[in-house]
Amino acid sequence: MGEINGGRLAARQLKASGIDTIFTVAAGPMVQVLIGAVEEGIKVVNCRHDLSAANAASAWGWVNKKPGVVVLGSGPGTTNGVTGLYVATDSAMPLVVFGGSVGTGSGGLGAFQETDQVRFAAPGSKWASRIGSIRQMPDMIHLALGKAISGRPGGVYLDFPGNIVSEMVDEDSIPLRTMLPQVSVPYPDPRAVEQIADMLANAEHPLVLIGKGAAWADAGEPLRRLVDRGIPFVASPMGRGTIPDDHDMSMAAARNNAIRGADAVLMVGAKFNWMFQQGMNLAKGVRIAQIDIEPEEMYSIADVEIGLFADCAVAVDQIDKALVSRTLRSASNDWVSQLQETVLKNSASLEEEMTSDSIPINHHRLVADVRDVVDRDAYVVEEGEVTMGIMRQLMPAFLARHRLGAGSTGCMGVGFPYAVGAKLANPDKQVVAVLGDYAFGSAAMEIETCARLGINVVVVISNNAGISAHTMQARFPADAPPVGAMIPADYEKMAEMVGAYSERVTDPAELQPALKRAFAANSVAIINVITDPDAGKGRRTPRTMYI
Ligand X SMILES: Cc1ncc(C[n+]2csc(CCOP(=O)(O)OP(=O)(O)O)c2C)c(N)n1
Q: Which residues bind ligand X (CB under 6 A)?
A: 384-387, 410-413, 436-439, 462, 464, 466-469
Q: Starting from the edge strand earliest in sequence, which strands make up the sheet with 287-292, in order?
A: 233-235, 206-210, 264-268, 287-292, 306-309
Question: Which residue, 78 or 387, has its beta carbon nearer to ligand X?
Answer: 387
Give least dist CB 358 to ligand X, A: 17
Cα separation of 151 and 44, whole Å? 28
- Segment lying near Mg ion (by CB under 5 A), choices 16-24, 82-90, 349-357, 459-467: 459-467
Question: Which residue, 188 or 466, has its beta carbon nearer to ligand X?
Answer: 466
The residue sitting closest to ligand X, measured at its beta carbon, is 436
Give least dist CB 240 to ligand X, A: 19
Q: Say whether residue 471 binds Mg ion (CB under 5 A).
A: no
8 A C-beta contact, residue 127 and residue 157: yes
Give least dist CB 546 to ligand X, A: 8
Question: Which residue, 292 or 437, has its beta carbon nearer to Mg ion?
Answer: 437
Cα-based distances in Å from 456 to 160, 312, 491, 524 = 33, 34, 17, 4
Question: Which residue, 214 or 367, has its beta carbon nearer to ligand X?
Answer: 367
- Segment lying near Mg ion (by CB under 5 A), choices 98-106, 197-205, 358-366, 437-445: 437-445
Question: Which residue, 211 or 536, has its beta carbon nearer to ligand X?
Answer: 536
Question: Which residue, 93 or 412, has its beta carbon nearer to ligand X?
Answer: 412
Please report how the helices 50-64 and 415-425 are oriented relative to each other, as an axis angle in degrees rounded to 10. 40
8 A C-beta contact, residue 121 and residue 97: yes
* Burial readout 388-420 (b: 16 or more C-beta within 10 A, e: otherwise): bbbbbbbbbbbbbbbbbbbbbebbbbbbbbbbb
- Segment lying near Mg ion (by CB under 5 A), choices 349-357, 400-408, 461-469, 518-526: 461-469
3-state secondary structure 193-235: HHHHHHHHHHCCCEEEEECHHHHHCCCHHHHHHHHCCCCCEEE
Which phi and psi (to 5°) does residue 95 adopt?
-130, 135
8 A C-beta contact, residue 457 and residue 515: no
Task: Report the half-sphere exposure of 99 (CA within 13 A, side-chain side).
Answer: 36
Q: Say whether residue 50 binds Mg ion (CB under 5 A).
A: no
Give least dist CB 274 to ligand X, A: 13
- Segment lying near Mg ion (by CB under 5 A), choices 39-47, 361-369, 445-453, 458-466: 458-466
Q: Say whether residue 533 binds Mg ion (CB under 5 A).
A: no
| Of residues 480, 487, 482, 464, the one with CA closest to residue 542 | 464
Question: Which residue, 206 or 436, has its beta carbon nearer to ligand X?
Answer: 436
Question: Which residue, 191 or 539, has its beta carbon nearer to ligand X?
Answer: 539
Give least dist CB 389 to ligand X, A: 8
Q: Say whether residue 436 binds Mg ion (CB under 5 A).
A: yes
Q: Say whether residue 437 binds Mg ion (CB under 5 A).
A: yes
Give least dist CB 491 to ligand X, A: 11
From candidates 464, 471, 502, 528, binder to Mg ion by CB under 5 A: 464
User: Alpha carbon 453 to chain centroid distance?
Assistant: 22
Give least dist CB 432 to Mg ion, A: 18
Give least dist CB 439 to ligand X, A: 3
8 A C-beta contact, residue 279 and residue 302: yes
> Number of residues in contact with Mg ion, rule: CB under 5 A?
3
Task: Estimate the share of the chain in helix, then strand, then coil, as percent rounded to the nearest 5.
Answer: 40, 20, 40
| Of residues 14, 56, 16, 66, the one with CA closest to residue 37 | 14
Give least dist CB 440 to ligand X, A: 7
The residue sitting closest to Mg ion, measured at its beta carbon, is 436
3-state secondary structure 48-86: CCHHHHHHHHHHHHHHHCCCEEEEECCCHHHHHHHHHHH
Which phi and psi (to 5°) does residue 238 adopt?
-90, 0
Cα separation of 153 and 92, whole Å? 5
Question: Which residue, 422 or 444, has its beta carbon nearer to ligand X?
Answer: 444
413 binds, among ligand X, Mg ion, none (CB under 5 to 8 A by kind): ligand X
320 binds, among ligand X, Mg ion, none (CB under 5 to 8 A by kind): none
Cα separation of 15 and 27, whole Å? 21
Cα separation of 241 and 236, whole Å? 10
Give least dist CB 436 to ligand X, A: 2
Give least dist CB 484 to ligand X, A: 8
| Of residues 96, 186, 108, the one with CA closest to residue 145 | 96
Question: Which residue, 379 or 438, has its beta carbon nearer to ligand X?
Answer: 438
- Segment lying near Mg ion (by CB under 5 A), choices 26-34, 138-146, 292-300, 430-438: 430-438
Question: Which residue, 51 or 217, has its beta carbon nearer to ligand X?
Answer: 51
411 binds, among ligand X, Mg ion, none (CB under 5 to 8 A by kind): ligand X
For the chain, how many residues are written? 547
Binding site for Mg ion (CB under 5 A): 436-437, 464
